Amino acid sequence: MRIDSLLTAATQKLQQAGSPSSRRDAEVLLCHVLGVGRAWLYTWGDRQVDEFVQARFDDLIVARVAGEPVAYLTGEREFWGLSLDTSSATLIPRPDTETLVEVALEKAREVGEAPKRLLDLGTGTGAIALAFASEYPGWQVVGVDLNETAVLLARNNAKKNAIVNVEFLVSDWFSALGRDSADSGFALIVSNPPYLADDDPHLSEGDVRFEPHSALVAAEQGLADLRYLVQGARQYLAGNGWLLLEHGMQQGAAVRQALSDAGFVDVASYQDLGSRERVSLGRWQPCP
């Protein structure tokens, strides 16, 4: 079958299944099977593909029709210009999280001279840690995750993108970090923790259905881990270090409250491009 006809047929199947981005998904999946970029498909639309390619593509379309995320089918997703391997052990990196990266970069500029350290809690694919490390090669970045598969994936993503100023550790939040010495004194601590309530309707929609529940859902209407990180981070921040947390668009006030109650100062929230509060932060000022 010709490439253009193959794409048209697959797009129709995906459309019938209610996929909102059917043409794009079909193209990305065919590119994956052929090992080419999207521009290539347009240039060579009249080329025939062999049966083997067609069979592999058909299998991917069947899986996509069943709802499987494109990023799990291709095993990769772009984030902050980096190509990251994905797996069903972790969340798929989202464009939303670029807001957190932007705020972290802004705070890093204020914090001043390297060498400084950043800690990313619940790093998953390593997206935030790697994006930051790629922008600040003079900083030392540490990413932790409870899930060993995620840690292996993140290490592999560092290698794949030739980022060397980062290390990834298996850790239940702060548990693997030493209390004093080298593991305290982070100038920045960042996290995109689980923050959905267990009855959030998003959990039964789209890609989220296939992502690990443990990376999405937290107790206390989604606030439990955010609150835990606010409490815990104080011990690991340098004086005047910042804690930056991604959260849901209705959680800004609760996260600011938790930060203020825990003694953080300069507490504020940042909006994403859609004017929704999605990141809150505070500065840690230990008692004199």
What mask of x and - would describe binding to ligand GLN in positions 141 to 180, judged by CB under 6 A? ----------------------------------------
> In the complex with ligand GLN, which residue's Cβ is closer, 5 or 88?
88
- Of 133-141, 171-179, 189-197, 280-288, the segment contacting ligand GLN by CB under 6 A is 189-197
Q: Is 184 helix (H, G, I), strand (E, B) or coil?
A: coil
Please say whether the beta carbons of 279 and 269 come within 8 A.
Answer: yes
> In the complex with ligand GLN, which residue's Cβ is closer, 27 or 277?
277
| Residue 195 interacts with ligand GLN (CB under 6 A): yes or no | yes
Token duo for residue 15: 């459309």
- Omega within 30 of 0 (cis) for the link into 115: yes
> In the complex with ligand GLN, which residue's Cβ is closer, 216 or 230?
216
H/E stretch holding 279 reads strand 277-284
Please say whether the beta carbons of 169 and 176 come within 8 A.
Answer: yes
> In the complex with ligand GLN, which residue's Cβ is closer, 194 or 252?
194
DSSP-assigned letters across all residues of 99-134: HHHHHHHHHHHHH-SS--EEEEES-TTTHHHHHHHH
| Residue 208 interacts with ligand GLN (CB under 6 A): yes or no | yes
What mask of x and - would describe binding to ligand GLN in positions 92 to 111, judged by CB under 6 A? ----x---------------
> In the complex with ligand GLN, which residue's Cβ is closer, 187 or 216?
216
- Of 25-33, 44-52, 112-120, 187-195, the segment contacting ligand GLN by CB under 6 A is 187-195
CA distances from 90 to 14, 20, 84, 85 (A): 25, 23, 12, 10
Going 204 to 207 to 213 to 215, the CA torsion angle's sign is negative
Q: Is 36 helix (H, G, I), strand (E, B) or coil?
A: coil
Please say whether the beta carbons of 84 and 157 come within 8 A.
Answer: yes
* Closest separation in Å from C-beta 197 to ligand GLN: 10
Closest residue by Cα to residue 245 from 229, 260, 231: 229
What mask of x and - would describe binding to ligand GLN in positions 212 to 231, judged by CB under 6 A? ----x---------------
Binding residues (CB under 6 A) for ligand GLN: these are 96, 192, 194-196, 202, 208, 216
